[in-house]
Structure 1
Amino acid sequence: MSKKIFTEREIKLLSGNPYVKSVSSKGITYTDEFKRLFIAENEKGKTPRQIFEENGFDIEIIGMDRVESSGKRWRAAYRENGVTGLRDTRKGNSGRPNDKELSLEEKYARLEAANNLLKAENELFKKDQLCRKEAEEVKLSAEQKFLLIHSVIEKYQLKSMVSYLCETAGVSRSGYYNYFTSQSKEHREKRDAEDEIVKEIILKAFNFKRRKKGARQIKMTLEGQFDTIYNLKRIRRIMKKYDIVCPIRRANPYKRMIKATQEHRVLPNLLNREFKQGVPGKILLTDITYLYYGNGQKAYLSTIKDGSTNEILSYHVLKRITLDLATDTLIKLKKNKKVKLAKDAFIHSDQGGHYTSPTFQKQVKKLGLGQSMSRRGNCWDNAPQESFFGHFKDEAFIKPCSTFDELKREIKSYMNYYNNYRYQWDLKKMTPVQYRDHLLNAA
């Protein structure tokens, strides 16, 4: 257990997360829903750190010790007792106390019911993600949970398990019964019919002049072109319900996430475009770019480049633009035995959220590096790194890659080619590795 004590400010920040049931100066109690989500995502291959960060937790506040110990405890509980092992059964945390001791048959029946519910929930997650162009955080609405519980009850003949399954899914039993009453059914059918009409009107605005639009543009187009006024919330609800998505300038959830709970710090420009200083391992340049491959798939590449030799010292590629993309590139730099950092070495980047992050800046200090940043909106302050990405996208065979593994193999192949076999005019017609050796021998 971590010995870290939370401050009042940290307690307030943690309490604002919907997946936190309660928090004190010494510990956090997570909701059962988050534990189930953790297990489902962990089984898909995500790390505990990824899962916590993607659900709004700041690792700097919680600490990796707590994250790892919580994940280990939940996995052990799940292996032993399935979904029921993830429930908080402490007095005062689990709702109405259970005075009756359950028989072995009843315990087994509950365990099987909860497992069936989790299977159905995972299937729904998969179907929902297949409908999306990019993987996003998936949260079930109360309506989806009601339908999910109903399908499990019908499929496995579990009419006596309504209360238990509602509790497991985190919804009220009264809400479940109210949702399936005849009156509610008539109301839903009427609302769905109205929504269908509104959807058609919204689609006219959405496709007006064959230019796709976001909710606010749709609202203004409806008023200006169709003399129709809809509330912005209503437009967004209909768009979400019928999966009407504007592909232009969509908000980046990871950018919001990594800036949510900590003060990010912008640092001065120490480099001042003095890229070539004739000393290998002194000026390190870093940045992130996106890569489109296969059938509309997207990945992100982070690199660290030696400003003096143009050699790529480390790189990392992920399907998501999380903080790990930048921090893992630093870890790989540290593990690269061929890299020898010069005295007063520092790393230069733009002012992106990854590089202003306290986590990234702390890791930079651990490596004994200084840190420098380009002026806001000035790409020329990191021009050699931008130039590398341009050559990389022109020369590497990225688009033909059909899978993520194939993409990683192509990137690895190109990095080897670039460092060892791609001769550069400005490096006295040498490769980056040859020029690095040349500078070291001349010193």
Structure 2
Amino acid sequence: MATRVSYPVEVKMKTIEMRLAGIPVKEVMEQLNIRNKTQVDTWMRCYRKGEWNRLEQPVGKQYSYGKGPEYTSELEKVKAENRFLKQQLDLPKKVQGNGKEVSPKIIVEWVESIRGDVSVSQACAWIGIPRATYYRWKAAYGSRYKDHMVEKIRELCRQHKFRYGYRKITALLRREHKINHKRVQRIMQNEGLQCRVKVKKRKPTGQPAYIAEHLLKRQFEADTPMQKLVADITYLPFGGKTLYLSSILDLFNGEIVAYSIADKQDTAFVLDTLNQLPDLPGTVLHSDQGSVYTSQAYQEAVKGKGITMSMSRKGTPADNAPIESFHSTLKSETFYLECLTCTTTAIVVQIVRDYMTYYNSIRIQTKLNNQSPVHFRQLAA
């Protein structure tokens, strides 16, 4: 059977003092030659509960609940109590003084450093300040207090080039420290240390002026000209600067009935395209939920022409497939076919204008009985 070791009171108090100072348990055990970590935990538990008499308890001696050791005289008992009181008062030497003299910054730093072993109420009782005062100081000065974990977490995040989220950072920290994943997550959020590999998509702030119902519902056939129209914007990154093409296509024959080219994608840009149309009562105009289409100015212009607005569901470009397909065809049969990936802005504009004429009046389509859109519309009239 292993020999039971009895530690003097001075060793126990020194252990408590070192743990409150933030020294790791392993280092404390090595310096004070303590065999079992359970001993340290027991002494700290007695200290937090205020059971000072338990620290005087000899090996194998069990005192009755609420009673301390038996002293040979009253004087010896008083001396023992004074010794423990002195130890208790010596621990927070850095923060001696009353509430008016003590530095709030030092108070906050000291209390935060021992929170793992002592409650805030106990620490405040030692110093002689109300808990409310401490929390008020913490709110004022807490942002200046540097949690030692913050630097460790920041170092790990930089070391791994922000590839890890809070779960993996917690796993690395737990190799040396006992820490809750929620604390790591909170620190990483406050310090802006989140994983940067796959940034979560955030919903845009604010609300669009107007979102119309999805009236078209992918029914891309029309019986008469100008019955159903679809609109969209595409990029033209082939010139000296990026241009934008706004187009409106008639689903009856696939004809481009209006288009505009500009170097800025704003409401005025799409209004210029819309204003090329006559008043069309009963016509359905379909678009995506782009900010230019949901703007109040565009919606008022659409209503002014008697047009009913329809919009694709969010993140569903297939709801507006015909105009998406046209823009793809335009680029494939012009810029990509002729390898014009870098040219002048004027040439880009001219190529688009020439193709619009070719597409509407010359280029035949199988679904139109091998006729061009304009010819098909003229025959239908």
TM-score (norm 1): 0.40
Q: Larger % of helix: which? A: 1
